[in-house]
Chain A
Amino acid sequence: MYLTLENITKVFPARGNVGEVAAVHDVNLEIQKGELVTLLGPSGCGKTTTLRMIAGFEFPTAGRISLDGQEINSLPPHKRGMSMVFQSYAIFPHLTVFENIAYGLNVQRLSKKSILERVNRVMDLVHLEGYGDRPPGQLSGGQQQRVALARALVMEPKVLLMDEPLSNLDAKLREEMRTEIRRIQKELNITSVYVTHDQIEAMTLSDRIVVMNLGVIEQIGSPMEIYRFPNSRFVANFIGRANFIDGVVLAQDGSVLTVRSLGESITLSNIKREFHEGEDVTLIVRPEMIQIKRTGGLYNGVVRRAVYLGDEMEYMVEIRGLSILGSETDPHVTELFPEGEKVTLGFAEDCIQVLPAEKKSE
Chain B
Amino acid sequence: MVIAWLVVRKNFSGKGVLDFSSNLGGAVPGTILGIGFVLVFNKPPMALAVVIYAVLALFFGLVVGRDARERLVMLLIGTAAGVLLTRLETIRLYYLLGALYLFLSVFLLFSGKKTFGALLAALLGVYVMSTNWATAISQPIADFSRSIERGFWSNAIFQFSDHLKVIFQPPPSLLAIFLIFAGILLIQGLQHRAQRVVAGIVALSIPCAMSFMDIPFALVGGAYIIMAAFIVRSLPASVRAGVASLQQIDPSIEEASNILGGDAQYTFRKVTLPLIFPALLAGLIFSFTRHMTSLSAIIFLVSAKWRIVTASIISEWEQGGVSIAAAYSTLIILLVMIAIVVLNIVTSRLLRGREGVDLSQGL
Contact = CB atoms under 8 A, between A and B. Distances in A.
Bind each other: yes
Given A94-B274, A136-B361, A88 B261 contact: no
A356 interface: no
A331 interface: no
17 contacts: A76-B258, A76-B263, A78-B263, A82-B259, A89-B361, A90-B252, A90-B361, A93-B358, A93-B359, A94-B271, A94-B274, A107-B261, A107-B266, A136-B361, A137-B361, A151-B256, A155-B260
B143 interface: no
B31 interface: no
Interface in A65-114: 76-78, 80, 82-84, 86-94, 103-104, 107-108
Contacts of A206: none
Contacts of A61: none
Contact of A107 (B252, B255, B262): B262
A89 B260 contact: no
Interface majority SS (helix, strand, loop, mixed), chain A: loop
A93 B362 CA distance: 10
A4 interface: no
Contacts, number: 86
Interface string A166-201: 001000000000000000000000000000000000
A86 B252 contact: yes
Q: Which of B261, B270, B356 has the most C-beta atoms of chain A within 10 angstroms of its own C-beta?
A: B261
Contacts of B261: 78, 104, 107-108, 155
B354 A94 contact: yes
A144 B362 contact: yes
Given A107-B261, A108-B261, A90 B256 contact: yes
Given A77-B258, A90-B250, A137-B356, A168 B362 contact: yes
B353 interface: yes
B294 interface: no
A151 B259 CA distance: 11
Interface in B243-293: 250, 252-253, 255-263, 266, 270-271, 274-275
Interface string B92-116: 0000000000000000000000000
A83 B253 CA distance: 13
Nearest to B256: A90
B363 interface: yes
A90 B363 CA distance: 9
Given A88-B362, A103-B260, A93 B255 contact: no
B357 interface: yes
Interface of B: 250, 252-253, 255-263, 266, 270-271, 274-275, 353-354, 356-359, 361-363
Contacts of B250: 88, 90
Nearest to B277: A94
Interface of A: 55-57, 76-78, 80, 82-84, 86-94, 103-104, 107-108, 135-137, 144, 151, 155, 168
Contact of B259 (A77, A94, A144): A77
Given A107-B266, A135-B354, A137-B357, A91 B362 contact: yes
B268 to A, nearest CB: 13
Contact of B258 (A78, A89, A168): A78
Given A76-B263, A89-B362, 20 more contacts: A57-B255, A76-B258, A78-B261, A78-B263, A80-B259, A83-B259, A83-B260, A86-B362, A87-B252, A88-B250, A90-B256, A91-B253, A92-B256, A92-B257, A93-B358, A94-B354, A103-B260, A107-B261, A155-B260, A155-B261
A38 B263 CA distance: 29
Nearest to B274: A94
A135 B353 contact: yes
Contact of B357 (A76, A80, A94): A94
B260 A107 contact: yes
Contact of A151 (B260, B266, B271): B260
A37 to B, nearest CB: 19
B351 to A, nearest CB: 9
A93 B354 CA distance: 8
B259 A84 contact: yes
